Structure 1
Amino acid sequence: MSEQSDALLPDRTPLAPGAAGVLRARAAAERVRSDQFAAALEDIAEHGLPPVEACRPWTEIREEALAQLHAAREAGNAA
C-alpha cells in the first residue's frame, strides 16, 4: 500500500500474517478471473459472438454448478 494511503488511514489494525496471506491469495485469484473475463471480452470484440449452437443455456450451467455444490456439501457431511 502507498505511503499516502497509510497517512490517510493511520489507525489501521495490522492483520495476522496468515490472514494477510489469505487475502493476498484471494486477490491473486480475482486477478486471474478478471484477466480471463477480459480475454473473453477481447475475443468477442475481435471475432464477434459465437453461434448460438456453440453456446450453453445459462440454466444448464446453473444446474450443473448447483449439482456440484450439492455433491461437495454431501461429501463434506459424509466425512
Structure 2
Amino acid sequence: MGAETTRPQPGAATTNDDLPPPRPDRSRSRTGVLEDIAAHGLPDPEQCTPWEDPREAHLARLAAQRPAVT
C-alpha cells in the first residue's frame, strides 16, 4: 500500500534524520498555538482541561464501539 517506514529499535539512539518530516497541517497548527501563547501568555492552569480527561472519554467511546478495546 503506502511507503514503508523504518522504525528504530527500542532503546536505539535517534536523530532528526530518522524522523519523518512534519506534516504541513500539523506545523500550521503548532505555529498557531505558539503564536497564541506568545500573544496572550500561557492559560491559567485552573481553566485548562487535563489531557487525561479527553483521552479517557475517547477510550470509553472506543470501548463502547468495540467491547474488546480496553
TM-score by length of structure 2 reads 0.49
TM-score by length of structure 1 reads 0.45
Higher helix share: 1
